[in-house]
Every structure is written in structure tokens, then in C-alpha cells.
Amino acid sequence: MIRIENLTKQYENDGVVTPVLNTLNFKIDQGEFVAIMGPSGSGKSTLMHILGFLDKLSTGKYLFKGKDVSTLNEDELADMRSKSVGFIFQAFNLLPRTTVMENVMLPLIYTNVPPEERQFRASAALEGVGLGHRLDYYTNQLSGGEKQRVAIARALVNDPAVIFADEPTGNLDSKSGLQVMKILQSLNDSGRTIILVTHERYTAEHSKRIIKLKDGEIVSDEPVLNRLLAESAGELIK
């Protein structure tokens, strides 16, 4: 699904060039659950932004389902972003003073999906994350864990090929964080491709493979041998 070849990323400001990612090579197959892990400044968020069509690489090649993303213009990238990927962020990024249902329907507003179908998809996505009883609640009435589950439902509503989760448990207590990881693992079990960005080894070990970055370079790319599983009681089993 994803193939990265000799990818580099650098930023230039007032003639000063700052390298961020250096000659990355890897691939991610459909149905994988991959964690991109590294400390602050390692380049993991920049890489996620490139993979999610939010930013462009400087040199190299990014193939998504065989299409060379590096050749696409801004409108084409926006189209890919709206149809192919879903995002879950640490800060939830929900609209305040807006209902749960309206937040989840948001990605469908600029599509040709009829209003009745939007409501059906949003309701189904919320049911899938255990929030079917919160459709008419406002986001400021929800707990942190519930807000993140709304964000997951919003990421799913367009039936994306890939879900990007950027530090999805960073603002949550341990129990709510495990609930989120349980949902992500369940989505992966059903065939979804999940790419998780985190600086925590504990969170990364819920995935099936860890790509570790340091100073913009891949220092390891290995399967998770003792994977952590989040189960319904809010505990971890191996």
C-alpha cells in the first residue's frame, strides 16, 4: 500500500536549510498495524504529515497504492487526504459547541454523500466505538476518552484506507488510553491499516511492528514479539 524510497525532508528559512528526514526506505502493506516511534525531534510527526498528504517530501519517492504522491498538486493531495486517510490527534480537534453527530459528519460535508447517508454513516461509526447513546451530546459534555472515541468515529466515517493516530493516548488517563488502543486493535483485526505515531515504547508495543526514528533516520524496523493487547477490563495481557 505504501512504499517510501530514499525520502528526504528539509526546511529552508532565510537561506538556512534544516534537514528533518534523511534517506528513508520502507514499505507498509495493507492491513498492517505499524508504530512510528521516536523522541521529540526525531522526525516522526513530519513523516506522518507526509504519509497523510499534509506535507510534501523534498526528494525521493512516495508511492500510495502505486500512485506517485510526489507528483500531485495541492488539489490532488487534498482529494487523496479526504478519501483515503483518517486522522486521530492527541488534542482530539473536535469543534466546540457542536454535537457529537455533527463532528463525525464533518468529513462528509464536502462530498456528494446525501444528508441522510451522512447521518447513517456517522451514527454507525459512533455505534462502532460505543457512543451510540451520545449522538446529541455536545463535545464539551464528554470525557477525554469519549472525545477521542468521537475522533476515531470521525476518522472512520469516510471508510479510509489508512488511519493515522498521532499520540492518540497522550491526553488520556491509562484506562481511557487502553480503551482507545483496544478500538485501534479491533479495527486492525477487521482489516484496517493503522499507523500509530508515539514517543512511548509502552504504547508502540500495542502495534505489530515498530519503525524507530532518531535524528531523522530509521534506526530499527522490527516486528513486535511480545505484543500488548488491550482487553475490555481495562488491563493488559500478553
Residue 174: pLDDT above 90?
Answer: no
Residue 69 has a pLDDT of 93
Q: Cβ contacts of residue 152 below 8 Å, gap of 6+?
A: 88, 129, 168, 180, 183, 184
At residue 232 the predicted structure's pLDDT band, cuts being 50, 70 and 90, is low
Residue 141: pLDDT above 50?
Answer: yes
The residue ranking higher by pLDDT, 49 or 238, is 49
Residue 237 has a pLDDT of 47
Sheet with strand 209-214: strands edge to edge: 85-89, 162-166, 193-198, 33-37, 209-214, 217-223
Residue 235: pLDDT above 70?
Answer: no
Residue 145 has a pLDDT of 94
Residue 231 has a pLDDT of 74
Geometric angle at alpha carbon 181, from 180 and 182, rounded to 5°: 90
Residue 238 has a pLDDT of 41
Mean pLDDT of 120-133: 95
Determine which of 62-66, 134-138, 172-176 has the lowest per-residue pLDDT on average.
172-176
At residue 83 the predicted structure's pLDDT band, cuts being 50, 70 and 90, is confident
Geometric angle at alpha carbon 71, from 67 and 75, rounded to 5°: 95
- Mean residue pLDDT of the chain comes to 92
Strand ranges (E), 65-151: 67-68, 85-89
Q: What is the bridge-based pairing of β-strands 209-214 and 33-37?
A: parallel
Mean pLDDT of 63-71: 93
Mean pLDDT of 162-188: 93
Mean pLDDT of 34-53: 95
At residue 37 the predicted structure's pLDDT band, cuts being 50, 70 and 90, is very high
Q: What is the bridge-based pairing of β-strands 229-230 and 236-237?
A: antiparallel
What is this structure's pTM? 0.92
DSSP letter assigned to residue 138: B
At residue 15 the predicted structure's pLDDT band, cuts being 50, 70 and 90, is confident
Burial classification of residue 72, based on how many CB atoms lie within 10 Å of its CB (0-12 exposed, 13-18 middle, 19 or more buried): middle
Share of the chain above pLDDT 70, in %: 97
